[in-house]
Structure formats: structure tokens, C-alpha cells
Amino acid sequence: MENVKRVILCKYGEVALKGANRPQFEATMMRDLRRRASRIGSFDIYAAQSTVYIEPADDTSDIEEMYREAEHTFGFSGLCLAAVAEKTMESIKEIASFYLPQKLRGMETFKVEAKRADKRFPKKSPEIAAEVGEAVLASAPWLRVDLHSPDIVVTVEVRERGAYIHAGQERGAGGLPLGTNGRALLLLSGGIDSPVAGYMMMKRGVTVDAVHFESIPYTSEQARDKVLALASLLTDYCSSIRVHVISVTHIQEVLRDSCDNDYFTILLRRFMMALADRTARHTGAQALITGESLGQVASQTMHALAATDCMTTLPVFRPCIGMDKEEIITVSRKIGAFDTSILPYEDCCTVFTPPHPKTRPELSQVEEQERRVDFAALADEAWATRRTFFIRSGMEPREYTEKEEN
């Protein structure tokens, strides 16, 4: 038996609980998978019994690469690569005996579970499990059965179209299908937190664009490239993303020269929120996303957040707000962003940072400081510097022309 037909099984997560809205969520997941598949080869993708099946349509389609794409598709709680057998015990045992030993190398114990979704199948689940277990032991004699704490669980699923045999199930990306919960704008710095915040909101079905504030010549072009690289990493989950880059160099210089030093950080953050609000409305985003974690730095105290939130009437999502740094780093490593985030290219928030920034700013005092500058003129000047980069998964960033953006 040289070639065993394989299929990817993508198991629903909370989408299965969506009731009357479930078809909309299913359709969005299927579109996402088909878009990903179109870059790899030809696949048959269909849904049945709270599972999406992905089958190569020909021998040239790379199922391993498609599996990696499915791992980054939101909406699925579990994934497995299964061998396909006909719905007879003879075929199931034959495929199991050939396919499973290579998957169970390095394992010492196993057990078999059977799920008989097609009740017309003549054998019941315990009988299927027992017979497949015997077949596996005969072909992999180094194994022994452990029903209570096995190294791996072999599963046989007898479904409408066939029988599916797999060893172990990996966690899917979870969450809700991308695009089912609106569009938001991520304030993307070059640090660890904001890419994590973007990923976490994508996981809740939000389509994400980004805005980045730079301060050339005080920051380098490498710092901007780092941010675009972080955005590119997020496209593993979202296919494409737009990054709007706005210069706040002159704003920072004016604040440094006109306002009390300890108010500098909070005043700059207010400009950033106002410019992010303007960018969001320009692009059709319905909310803002930040990577702030309560109390992590001076600009992320409760008083400081209140003083910046009033610069927008849009909802501000802060998915990292209750996480500590180690928890955020864990997610950053998971999505492959950590090594890029710690590259030593500083962003604009490190420029002119005061030694003792206000941590409990009073809004009236902040506004009094702000009246020392022409806020509207400075914001308009910064907005005029906006450049937009389009990043598609697997491709280099490309700057939009004004005509393309409109």
C-alpha cells in the first residue's frame, strides 16, 4: 500500500454554538480556507457535521503546507491530518496498520477511541476501537495499550463519506472567523505588546489595519522596517494588512519646547489617539486597538488612560489590559513576533522621554498644558505626512499611491 489518501479535518470551536447565525460564520471560514488554498494548489473543501474537510484534488497539492495554513485560520478548535479508509472494518484495519506505525514512532503507550457518526455502520464504537487496537499492536509491537494515561490517542471516526483515522489532534487557532466582527485600527509600535493585541482581536473576528507613529531622524528607518516586519508576521493570520505611518517628529519637538517636561508623554499620547481616530474614520475602522497593560508604564495608569481615551469617541479595545509581561511574551512567542519585537530599534515613544512622567495626571492640568500649542495645526501637519503600506502574506510591503488608496 504505497499511497494512503489523507485529508485535513478542521473541527469547529465556538462557531458550533452560533445558532441561526452559524451559516454566516461557516461561510466566512470556508472563504478564508479557500483563499489560503488558492496559493498552494487545488483542494476540495467542504463542511459536514461541524467539521471542515480539506482534500487535495491532485497529487501536486501540498497537504502539509495546507495544514500549516489551516493552523492559522480562526474559528477551528482542533485540527488533524487523517488517513481515509472505506467504511468497512477490513479497510479501516488495513489503513490503520499501514498508516499509524509511522505516526507512533517514539511512543510507548496508546489507546484507540472510535466515533460512529454514521449509525448505519454495523460495528459499535467499542468494537471498532478494540479491533483497530489489535491491528495496531500487530503492526507496531513496541507499543502497549494504556486506557487511562496513554502517550497518544488514536481516533477512528466513521462519518458519512468514509472512515478517518488519525493519531492525536492539535489545537486550532480558535476564536471566531476573521471578518465577522467588524474592522479596527491597531496602534502598532515596535514593541512586544501591540502585535499581541492585534492578534488577540483578530482572534475575535476583527479585521485589523494598523497605524504607526515614527520620529525620523530621532528614530531610524530600521525602526519602521521592524514595524512593517511585525505587521507582515500578523498576515499569517489575516492574509493582508494596511499600515499607515505618520510622523510625529515636529509634534514632539514642539511639546519638548513648549510644555512642562513631566507632561510630555501624556500629551504625545493624546496626539496619537487623535491621529489614530482620524485614521480609523478615514479607513472605515469602527474601533481602536492598543497593547496597553494596566500599570505597566506611566502612560498606562488608570488616570493616564482616561486622559487619552477622551481624544476619541470610538471604542478602544485593550486585550492585554489585565495581562502581565510574561503572559504577553508567551503569546508573542506563540505568534512568532517576539524575536522581531526585541530588535534594538527604538520607536518614537522613547524620544524625549521625561525622567519623571506624570502617572496620575489631572485632565484639567493636561488640557492647560495642551493649550500652549496649536493642537489642530500640529495634528493637520502630522496627518499630511501619512504614508500607507500594503502587506500581503508572503510578499514584501508595498507603498500605496494616493490614487490606489482612494
pLDDT score for 400: 82
d(CA 353, CA 139): 67
Would you state the pLDDT for residue 349? 73
What pLDDT, on a 0 to 100 scale, did the predictor assign at position 2?
Answer: 61
Residue 45: name the closest of 27, 60, 59 by CA: 27
- Positions in the chain short of pLDDT 50: none
Q: What is the pLDDT of residues 205-238, one digit of tens each?
A: 999 999 999 999 998 899 999 999 999 999 999 9
Q: Do domains 6-171 and 183-405 have the same CATH topology?
A: no
Helix (H, G, I), strand (E, B) or coil at 379: helix
Residue 240: count other Cβ atoms within 10 Å of its Cβ. 16
Residue 1's pLDDT is: 54
**pLDDT tens by residue, 91-103:** 999 999 999 998 9
pLDDT the model gives residue 345: 81
Closest by alpha carbon to 275, among 299, 244, 298? Answer: 244
**Parallel, antiparallel or unpaired: strands 109-116 and 152-158:** parallel
CATH code of the domain made up of 183-405: 3.40.50.620
Structure confidence at residue 175 (pLDDT): 96
pLDDT of residue 69: 96
pLDDT of residue 351: 74
Q: H or E element: which one contains 46?
A: strand 43-48
Domain ranges of the chain: 6-171, 183-405
pLDDT at 356: 82
| pLDDT at site 402 | 58
Is it true that domain 6-171 has CATH number 3.40.1690.10? no
Q: How many CB atoms lie within 10 A of CB 72?
A: 18
Instruction: Give the model's pLDDT for residue 355.
Output: 79
- Among 224, 186, 180, 242, residue whose Cα is nearest residue 205: 180
Identify which of 227, 239, 133, 131 has the alpha carbon closest to the alpha carbon of residue 187. 227
Cα(199)–Cα(186) distance, rounded to whole angstroms? Answer: 10
Q: What confidence score (pLDDT) does residue 354 get?
A: 81
